[in-house]
Chains A and B, each alone.
Chain A
């Protein structure tokens, strides 16, 4: 009887205090995740060193004289810094040690289609986007930051741009992007996502702010934009429309020769691998002609001159 009374009062007590305790407990849980981004990737150092070793041993176009240990030592200085005080310049030594040349005509810039870019580039065989350059490869898909008020890495969460501008990961990509642009030459390819609701060309983004401004005009012949649309997906923007037009105008103003193609055929085939029976994936030569690049006025004039010449020749031969 007494025991029953005890249990009853215990339950009563819990029922009374639960509304107060529960929010506190939940609040404590939420407070544990300080930042809005994923925490440091477990085994960061081993992944970094493994990727560096793989890149310099198996993928490198230039026989490796890269010291992966030194590259890691240069990179890891940011792991001692306050998570919101990491600047792109903190990666200067890291970039210096891992930098290598990018083959001409092989650069691929992109926005909002990371996986497609990885598939299309074929591990440096076809093209070399930033994730296939040593200083972009080692950090791809990884996350890292120091704890806010202690030394040691934060494995729970890391700041994103929403939390603070000078976070370790964003500064890394800014630094890498700037270098990548500086080292790009020849024909520059840009792959954009024409099904992205917010627009194919983010006016504020890595490409806009940390790549275009660092392109070297004297090393670049022309810039080719591919606006890809998802199979069966919405056509939000195409060449000459919306944010794509903003990009084209900007490149024009900067003095770059540029062209734009909707659903660049080789990439489209890759997107169609998983949708081979979809109407969007019926590729015939008729549609191919509309997808061919619309070059500058120069070439159009050139073509009409040739036609006039041919007409003149045939008419003179008939005389």
Chain B
């Protein structure tokens, strides 16, 4: 009698019979193979960048950045001609590339801040709040006083947009977080916060601030000036803050220096042991406004 049996031959049965051990090994091996293929696909498949509602990184950002840096250091302020603009660009990018643009921290910009040091003369600092265009017109023609955007880093970044994405080491040229997307720690906001703080910390002597007297609140506590700059002035270096409250030239001239908003600023400043002074429609800046409205009564 044969001591082997014929097993039933059917289509869905392996021709050779594997031992239980072999079956288990094969099963585990297959599972591992499938798992590693899935993992490889997840890791290596090019992921699309995160999509946001806001404007993307400015087109040709690196060229514009480099060009501005060189114009500033070679032509506008030649005393800074030894700054390495390529290095500044790379250090700047490292603050936010390959990162989620909602998770940027002050420390991310620390290497940049350490790299670019610029000493400004005392009594030549001009802060501004809700009066950017007028402040810049004034400093451009006056030439000896500096807003943040007249310093190297401010000059380079003014009006530009940038952000990165975790999936790439390049900047995101498709979209960047919009202010309405609950993403306060984005690369642009953090940058301006960090350099505004440094700008205020470095100020000395008598500092100026240009405020917009045509608003109901010329001094706005949630502005960068109201929340960052005012509190980072060093009372050991800054002994006076002078406010210029400028009104739109067509609007009625009201006495904002004595208003409650400015009074709030006065209290904050004096509490920090810094003297406060205020002037409505500071004449030299009024002249800048008069360029557009030369026949206005206040321009006579």
Q: Do A and B come from one complex?
A: yes
- A interface residues (Cβ-Cβ under 8 A, vs B): 41-43, 46-54, 57-58, 68, 119-120, 122, 141-142, 265-267, 269-270, 272-274, 276-277, 281, 283-285, 288
Q: How far is the CA of A281 from the CA of B58 in the complex (A)?
A: 42
State the Cβ distance, B289 to closest chain A Cβ, in Å.
8
- A273 near B67: Cβ-Cβ < 8 Å: no
- For chain B residues 140-185, which have a beta carbon within 8 Å of chain A? 140-142, 159
10 closest pairs, A vs B, by CB?
A: A50-B67, A53-B60, A53-B63, A265-B294, A269-B290, A276-B283, A276-B284, A119-B141, A269-B287, A266-B291
Cβ–Cβ contact B66 & A266, under 8 A: no
A195 to chain B, nearest CB (A): 18
In the assembled complex, which residues on chain B have CB atoms less than 8 Å from the CB atom of A269? Answer: 287-288, 290-291, 294, 299
| Interface-facing stretch out of B22-30, B68-76, B118-126 | B68-76
Ordered by A's residue number, 19 sampled pairs between the chains whose C-beta atoms are within 8 Å are A42-B81, A43-B70, A43-B85, A47-B67, A47-B71, A50-B64, A54-B60, A57-B59, A58-B58, A68-B60, A265-B294, A266-B290, A266-B294, A267-B291, A273-B284, A273-B288, A274-B141, A274-B142, A283-B300
Please tell me if B107 contacts chain A, counting CB pairs below 8 Å. Answer: no
**Contact indicator B63/A49 (Cβ below 8 Å):** yes
Q: Is B219 an interface residue (CB 8 A)?
A: no
Counting CB contacts under 8 A, is B13 at the interface? Answer: no
State in angstroms the CA–CA spacing of A119 and B143 once bound together: 11
A29 CA / B193 CA spacing, docked (Å):
49
Contact A51 B137 (CB under 8 A): no
Q: Given A43-B74, A57-B59, A270-B141: A283 and B299 within 8 A (CB)?
A: yes
Contacts of B141 in A (CB 8 A): 119, 270, 273-274
Query: What is the bound-complex CA distance between A20 and B139, given in angstroms?
Result: 53
B252 sits at the interface (CB 8 A):
no
CA distance A283 to B296 in the complex (A): 11
- A57–B161 CA distance with the chains assembled, in angstroms: 12
Q: Which residues of A contact B294 (CB under 8 A)?
A: 265-266, 269, 283, 288
Complex alpha-carbon distance, A42 and B75, angstroms: 10
Partner of B64, one of A57, A142, A265: A57
Is the pair B287, A276 in contact by a Cβ cutoff of 8 Å?
A: yes
Separation of A277 and B284 alpha carbons in the complex (Å): 9
Q: Which residues of B contact A (CB under 8 A)?
A: 58-60, 63-68, 70-71, 74-75, 81, 85, 137-138, 140-142, 159, 283-285, 287-288, 290-292, 294-295, 299-300
A212 CB → nearest B CB, Å: 27
Q: Is the CB of B67 within 8 A of A270?
A: no
* Complex alpha-carbon distance, A122 and B291, angstroms: 11
Identity of the chain B residue whose Cβ is nearest the Cβ of A265 in the assembled complex: B294
The winner among B59, B71, B138 for most chain A CB atoms within 10 A is B71
A52: chain B residues within 8 A (beta carbon) = 63
CB pair A270 B66 closer than 8 Å: no
Given contacts A43-B74, A50-B63, A269-B294, contact A285 B284 (CB under 8 A): no
Q: Are A50 and B71 in contact, CB atoms less than 8 angstroms apart?
A: yes
Residue among A42, A43, A270, A288 making CB contact with B287, cutoff 8 Å: A270
Q: How far is the CA of A120 from the CA of B141 in the complex (A)?
A: 9
Q: Do the beta carbons of B292 and A266 come within 8 Å of each other?
A: yes
B88 shortest CB reach to chain A, Å: 13
Q: Are A51 and B71 in contact (CB under 8 A)?
A: yes
Asked if B70 and A46 make an inter-chain contact with CB atoms under 8 angstroms apart, the answer reads yes
- The CA-CA distance from A288 to B300 in the complex, in Å, is 9
CB closest chain-A residue, reference B59: A57
Q: Cβ of B295: which chain A residues have Cβ within 8 Å of it?
A: 285, 288
> CB-CB < 8 A to B138: which residues of A?
273
Do A50 and B290 form a contact, CB below 8 Å, given A273-B142, A288-B295? no
B67 touches A46 (CB 8 A): yes
| Residue in A122, A265, A281, A283 whose CB lies within 8 Å of B137 | A122
Q: State A280–B294 Cα separation when bound (angstroms).
A: 15
Chain A residues with CB under 8 Å of B283's CB are 276-277
A122 to B66, CA, bound (A): 23
Complex-state Cα separation, A68 to B294, whole angstroms: 39
Q: Give A281 to B299 CA distance when docked, in angstroms.
A: 10
Contacts of A141 in B (CB 8 A): 75
Residues from chain A with Cβ under 8 Å of B71 in the complex: 47, 50-51
Evaluate whether A50 and B66 lie within 8 angstroms (CB atoms) in the complex, with A41-B74, A270-B141 already known.
yes
A266 to B299 Cα, complex, angstroms: 10
Q: How far is the CB of A115 from chain B (nearest CB, A)?
A: 8
| Residues of chain A lying within 8 A (CB to CB) of residue B140 | 119
Q: Is the CB of B74 within 8 A of A284?
A: no
> Quick check: B300 and A285 within 8 Å, CB to CB?
yes
Whether A273 contacts B287 in the complex (CB less than 8 A), given A53-B64, A265-B294, comes out as: yes
**Further pairs besides A269-B291, A273-B138: 18, Cβ < 8 Å:** A46-B66, A48-B67, A49-B67, A50-B64, A51-B71, A53-B67, A54-B68, A58-B58, A58-B64, A119-B140, A141-B75, A269-B294, A270-B287, A272-B287, A273-B288, A276-B284, A283-B294, A283-B300
